[in-house]
Copies of this chain bind each other. A is one copy, B any other.
Amino acid sequence: MNLAFAAVNGALKIGPTMSQMQNVERQLREMILGLEIGPGERLTERWIESRFGASRTPVRAALLRLETEGLIGRDGRGWTVAPINLAELGQIAVYREAVEVAAVRLTAALEDRGGIELIAAMLDSCDAETPREEWHRVGLDFHIELARLSGNEFLLRAVRDAMTRLSRARWLEVRDEKALGRAWAEHHAILAAVRSGDAEQAAQLLSAHIAGSRDRLVTSLHDDRRGLRARGFAVVAA
C-alpha cells in the first residue's frame, strides 16, 4: 500500500466522479505548488475559466478553498498567488513544532504503533536514483503520515496545512546530497524513538529537526532571493 497515495486520495477524492470544482481546485493547486504559476503572480477568474474549461462558478469555489489553504490571496480586487514569505516561514516552523511534537508524543504513548513501519518503508523507498520530486514528496509526507498516526484529526489537519504552505519554499531550497541524507537520518532517528515509546526523545529529536530545517530553509532562500526575484517570484523578506 502506498501511504502517500492514500493520503492524497483521502484528501482530494481522486476518482472517476470528480466535480469541476474539485478538478479546478486540484489542477490549480498543482500548478501553484509546482511553481508553474509563480509566487506573486496575478490570477483572473476568466483566465482560469478558459484554462481549465470550467465556468466561473466552480472556478470561484476552487479559489475560495485555495484561499483558505493560504496558496492564494486577495489583492485588492483580484487574486494573487501567495508570495514566498520568509517571516511567515519562521512562524510556520513554530506552529508546526507545536502540533507535530504534540502528535508524536501521542503516538509514542499509543499501544499500537505499527504504522511506523509503513512510514519507515516510505523513507527507505528513496535512494540515490530517486528523482528529486520524489524526495520532496516523501519529505513532506513523512511529517503528515507521522501526524496521522496520532489519530488526532486536528493535529493531522494542522500539519498538512503547514506542509502545504511550506511546500513551494522547500522545493526552491537548494539542498545538496548531504542535506538530504541528514534529513533522512533524522527522520529515521525520530521513528526509532517513537518505535521504542520514548516520547521525550522523539519530541526533542523532532524539535531539533524542525528548527534545523527552518534555519537551512530560510538561509537558503534568503541567499537566493535575488535569483528568485529574477525568475519573477515575489519574495517577502523576513
Contact = CB atoms under 8 A, between A and B. Distances in A.
A43 interface: no
A36 to B, nearest CB: 25
Nearest to A103: B98
A106 B91 contact: no
Interface in A139-175: 152-155, 158, 162
Interface stretch (A61-69, A126-134, A230-238): A61-69
Contact of A99 (B64, B92, B99): B99
A225 interface: no
B98 A94 contact: no
Interface string A81-96: 0000000100110110
Contact of A60 (B61, B91, B95): B61
Given A68-B68, A102-B98, A91 B61 contact: no
Nearest to A161: B154
B152 A94 contact: yes
A24 interface: no
B162 A91 contact: no
A57 B162 CA distance: 30
Interface in A38-72: 57, 60-61, 64-65, 68
Interface of A: 57, 60-61, 64-65, 68, 88, 91-92, 94-95, 97-99, 101-102, 106, 152-155, 158, 162
Given A95-B152, A158-B158, 6 more contacts: A61-B64, A88-B153, A91-B154, A94-B154, A95-B155, A98-B102
The 8 nearest A-B residue pairs measured at CB: A98-B102, A95-B154, A68-B68, A64-B64, A91-B152, A98-B98, A98-B99, A91-B154
